[in-house]
Amino acid sequence: MRLATLALALGGIAGCSSQAVTSVIRPFRIDVRQGNYVSQHSIDQLQPGMTQDQVRFVMGSPMLVDIFHADRWDYVYQFSPGRGQEEHRRTSVFFVAGKLDRVEAGALPKEPDPASLPRVIDIDSPQG
């Protein structure tokens, strides 16, 4: 009897449209960040005439270095939130004779304001 009831219940659930189930139950989706995160603050630190090593120190290693265009570095960033719109950004750095010539970038985010970041409290200190 129990087996028959269980089979009937499972059959009824299987007959439900998957759309009705997914409208009620939403799986958790993680945010996925890939590539080089470049902010306007990083771009502002670049100066024409900087060497490739100096640019690498400020910006980090580029995601793409094309062997056919050795004087161009591409910093590619993709953010795929669990819910919402994907974000794609590309920043290209161009060199002439090993020195920084120009930077091409779309709209970039500013660094977060340090005052808006959470404060770390040392529980061992007499003030904390």
Beta bridge partners, 64, equal 74
Q: pLDDT category, 86, cuts 50, 70, 90? A: confident
- Report d(CA 61, CA 33) in Å as an integer: 16
Going from N- to C-terminal start, the domains of the chain cover: 31-111
Q: Which range has the worst mean pLDDT, 18-27, 39-48, 68-77, 80-89? A: 18-27
116 has pLDDT over 50: no
Joined together, the tokens standing for residue 15 give 């007959």
Task: Give the architecture (CATH level 2) of 31-111.
Answer: 2-Layer Sandwich (3.30)
Of 52, 49, 47, the C-alpha closest to 72 is 52
Q: pLDDT category, 115, cuts 50, 70, 90? A: very low
Kindly report the number of other CB atoms within 10 A of residue 50's CB atom.
Answer: 19
DSSP state of 43: H
